[in-house]
Structure formats: C-alpha cells, structure tokens
Amino acid sequence: MADWSHEYRRHGWWREETFLDDLRRHARERPAATALIGHRADGALGLVSYADLLADTDRYAARLLDIGVEPGDVIAVQLPDWYEFVPLALACARVGARFCPLMPIYRQYELSHILALTEAKVCVTMAEWDGDRLAEIVTGLDLPHLEHVLVAGEPRPAETASFEDFLEGRSDTTPTSEVELAPDDPYLILFTSGTTGEPKGVLHSQNTLYASARGFADAMGLDSGLVMEVAHVNTHMSGFAMGLMVPLLLGGTAVFQERWDGGVALDLAQEHGLTLFYGAAPFLTDVLDGQRERPRDLRSLRWVVTGSAQVPPRIVDEVQDVFGLPTYSLWGMTENGPVTVTRPDDPPDWGAHSDGRPIEGMKLRIDPLKGRDDGAGRLWVRGPAQCLGYFRRDELYEAELDGDGWFDTGDLARDDGRGGIRIAGRAKDIIMYKSLNVPVTEVEAVLGRHPKVREVAVVGIPHPEVLEEVCAVVLATGEPLTLDELHEHMRASGVNDWFWPRRLEIVERMPKTVTGKIRKVELRRRYGGG
C-alpha cells in the first residue's frame, strides 16, 4: 500500500509541528487568553488561560515521569469532562506516552477488554460514578501490566493512589523535548462507540488529528475568535478532536460541562459569547427547548453543527426558527474525524438534505450497489485524517482497506448533487423486503416528520414470507399513535407501500451510544431480529 505522507506534507495537510507547539505559541503570544471554560456539576466554573494550561501540562508531565512513565506506555484516563482531563492528555504527548480516554459509562466488560488490550501502565479513574465504584472495578481485574491506579475522590481501594495528591505533588523532574511525541507518532487510542459489536481501539497521530481539525476549521471559516462547545464527551472523537483540538489549534476557547445540561449550555453561551455549538440531534433538541422556554441573548452564535446521527429535517427548521441560523450537517467516524460538512455557501436548509462536501485532503468513493435505484452505494474514504489503524488489531483494520488504501466506512451514501454526499444508512442496515432493498434512512426521515413521532428507528425483523419485516420503533410525543396513522402519513408523503413499516413498537427511551447514535443492534435483539 502506498505511503501518502509525502503528499500530505506537500499539500500542508500534515505538518512538522504538534499541538504542544500550538499550546506554546498561544501561551507566548496571548498568555492571558482563555483556553478552557469548564463547568462542574456542582455549579463551579473554571476559566483557564493558555499560560496556565501550558504550566499545568508541564507539571502533569513531570509527575508522570516521577511514577515511571516511559515513551510508548499507555495511559488510560476515565474521567468526565473535567479541566484536568485536558492537560493530562497533553502531558502524555509531552512524555512520549499514548493517551487512551475511557468513557465514564464503561464498566467491567469494557474496562477489562480495553485495559488488557492496551496493556495500560497507568489508569486514572474515579472512586464512584453514577452509583458504581469504578476504582473497585478496575482493581478487581486481572491486569498484570497495570502498575498505577490513580483515583479521583473517595473512598478508594487501599492499593490505589489519590489522583488529587498526584496532581498536587511537587516534582524536581523536568520533561525534555527528546521524549516528546513527533507529529506522526501514535498518540491517541479512541475506542469506537460499538453500535455494531465489540469496540475497536482506533489509533491516531497528532497529524491525523491535525488534518481533521484544520480541515473542519477551514471549511467553516473559523479563527482565534472561536468559542466552541461540543455537547459530546471529551472521551469521544467528537469531543476530543473537535471540542478540544480545534480550539487549541486556532487559539480559541473550548467550553465543556461535567454533565450535559441544555439550560447550562445556553447560560454558558450567553455569558461567554459562544460562537459555535456542535451536537447530535438530541442535544440540539435540548437547547432548542431551553431557548424557547427562557430565551438567552445568543447574538454571538454563528454556527450550529450537527453530526454523529442524521439530523431530522424538523430540527433544521427549528434551528432556523429559534436561532435564526442554518444547521450545518457533518459526517465522520472515529477512524477519521469530520470528513464531510455542509458549508456557509450552501442553501440555508441544505443540512436537511446533505451531509456535506469533504474537508481538504479527504477523498470519497461510492461503489454502486445492485438493487438500489436511488444511486446509493458503499462509501469509501482516503486521506490525511484517516487513522493509523486499530490498536493491536492490524488484521481487522487491513480487512477494511483495499489495495490502494481506501477505507470501507460500512456506510451507504449517494451524491448530493453539489459535490458532497448524503448518508443513506449503514451497509448492514439494509432491510430486504421480498426482493427489494428498503431505503432505511429515507423511510426514517419521512416517519420522523409525523407530528406524533419524536424520534424513530427502522429495523428489519426476520420474517418467513417476506425475508425481513419493516419495523418502526418510535419514541412518541405522548399522543396515541397507530400503525394505520403511519401508513396514511407514508401514503400522503408519496412513499411506495413496499417500504411502509408493517410493525410498530412504541418505546419510552431509545437505546443510544454517548454520541446519540441509536443502537439498532439492541432494537433488533429486543424485537426478534437477532
């Protein structure tokens, strides 16, 4: 397979600097500028300057060296969106270690798999989160490579150390530049959200992250005046690569909350002049509801971006009505960050019809599928934001590549007519009704416009006579809803009756990943689809 690094550097998609160099530059040129605004669940608010962020990064790096961290070691960090997460992530690069964020919702199954696979030397976790004693879970695992468990809060197991004491300890150690990660070195190990199976550790360098951050920033026209909140947790690609790295690259401000609250997000936006908000449809619904209930002064807000799951058309209309702004739709993966996004020069409602054009350097290929008359095909990508592979799972990653380095996304897409794409579902999300492929995403979009439907997922359930039965799983508005009503809605929308749902299931809550993706594998299992 070809080595594209020379081309990426020639075009400026990769560089010789790192995010640590960005941090040092901002701390030198604008030391008092606000780098981070962090909101704790107890209401405490912390504003951190670039000078202080650099000082804490160096201090945390020294403490990592004090406990024996060496280049190539893996540091696993299971923290919510606290300030300490950020300098700790940067400190790992400072000492040549690999940073592995773990979502606070992970418990024994995920932790045992991830900590064993990565052979993490250090694990930072919490004494308790949402009623579960995480530190006890970690120390109860058989992990011979794990030398240090640093625990935030109390009570903590006797064999662990206090994370607070670790941070506050004095050190005579000075990290040297010789051990710092180079821009192409493996740095970030991010585990996939696992909507289809066992999570995989996606490995990124600072340059693959730079390509996605720079590409997104340039596509949207962002600069150092950026004040950005990403509703998704910092332990996920959306939160880390976009919510933290984009502001750090530009010298802007990253805003985050320990626990998501739409009302708090609006208050922070008003108080600190938020310019960009990013979140999947459920988060947008929260801020829309909150703004209607108690309007805030959001004249600073310029960009509303959504991704992770396709945005319902009604959300685009509501964002325009409530905020007076278009909704920019983004598509990407843990493997490559934001790959496509609609742009300011697109029609105002284009986010309801497209997932955008590729960012600079990223290339797309759509392979047509038999049995589809809508132009949808399997989507392949290639470019500088593509990850280095799956950590210690080379065979799994290589199975997703062709001989020319194209990566099989597993998504279906079609040309949007403006040089971009519209995601048409997952390749494995195809429903075979009799002899036809059901266009799942399009059916969901139509059903989602019914006034009694708050959210919908369409799944295929095995059926002896028709291969798969189309089942609509609906999060209703509270008003009674019948299958006949959905059929009438589909008829009025001009949808072929072959694609109508033959089964309706009403749920009080949709099973989702932390990024807002509906876990269809769970719905299929629940309703008989295996």
Quick one: which of 310, 314, 288 has its CA closest to 301?
288
Residue 524 tokens, joined? 């299929």
Q: Which amino acid is at 330?
A: L
Task: List the domain range (segments joined by +) for residue 446.
Answer: 430-527
337-341/357-358 β-pairing: antiparallel
According to the model, what pLDDT value does residue 195 have? Answer: 42
In a domain, 209, yes or no: no
Look at residue 196 and tell me whether its pLDDT is greater than 60: no
The rounded mean pLDDT for the chain is 93
In a domain, 507, yes or no: yes
In a domain, 167, yes or no: no
In a domain, 454, yes or no: yes
Contacts (Cβ under 8 Å, ≥6 apart) of 8: 14, 207, 211, 361, 384
Find the mean pLDDT for residues 364-382.
87
For residue 157, is the peptide bond before it cis, meaning its omega torsion is within 30 degrees of 0?
Answer: no
- Over residues 503-529, the pLDDT tens digits come to 999 999 999 876 678 888 889 889 985
In a domain, 113, yes or no: no
Burial class from Cβ neighbours inside 10 Å (0-12, 13-18, 19+) for residue 369 reads: middle
Cα 38 from Cα 420, distance rounded (Å): 35
Cα 479 from Cα 336, distance rounded (Å): 41
Q: Could you count the other beta carbons within 10 Å of the beta carbon of residue 317?
A: 14
Tell me the pTM.
0.84
What is the tally of structural domains in the chain?
1
Cα 386 from Cα 339, distance rounded (Å): 9
Long-range contacts of 442-446 (CB under 8 A, 24+ apart): 442/374, 442/499, 443/470, 443/495, 443/499, 443/501, 444/310, 445/310, 445/312, 445/313, 446/489, 446/490, 446/493, 446/495
Look at residue 199 and tell me whether its pLDDT is greater than 90: no
In a domain, 505, yes or no: yes
For residue 465, give the CATH number of its domain: 3.30.300.30
According to the model, what pLDDT value does residue 379 have? Answer: 96
Look at residue 467 and tell me whether its pLDDT is greater than 80: no
Among 2-16, 167-181, 249-263, which range has the highest average pLDDT? 249-263
Look at residue 446 and tell me whether its pLDDT is greater than 70: yes
pLDDT, greater one: 130 or 371: 130
Look at residue 435 and tell me whether its pLDDT is greater than 60: no
Look at residue 10 and tell me whether its pLDDT is greater than 70: yes
In a domain, 18, yes or no: no
377-382/407-415 β-pairing: antiparallel
- Over residues 18-56, the pLDDT tens digits come to 999 999 999 999 999 999 999 999 999 999 999 999 999
In a domain, 15, yes or no: no
For 261-362, strand residue ranges (E) read: 276-278, 303-306, 327-333, 337-341, 357-358
CB 270 within 8 A of CB 244: no
According to the model, what pLDDT value does residue 529 have? Answer: 56
Contacts (Cβ under 8 Å, ≥6 apart) of 482: 504
**What are the CA-CA distances from residue 275 to residues 221, 223, 228 (Å)?**
12, 11, 6
CB 330 within 8 A of CB 277: no
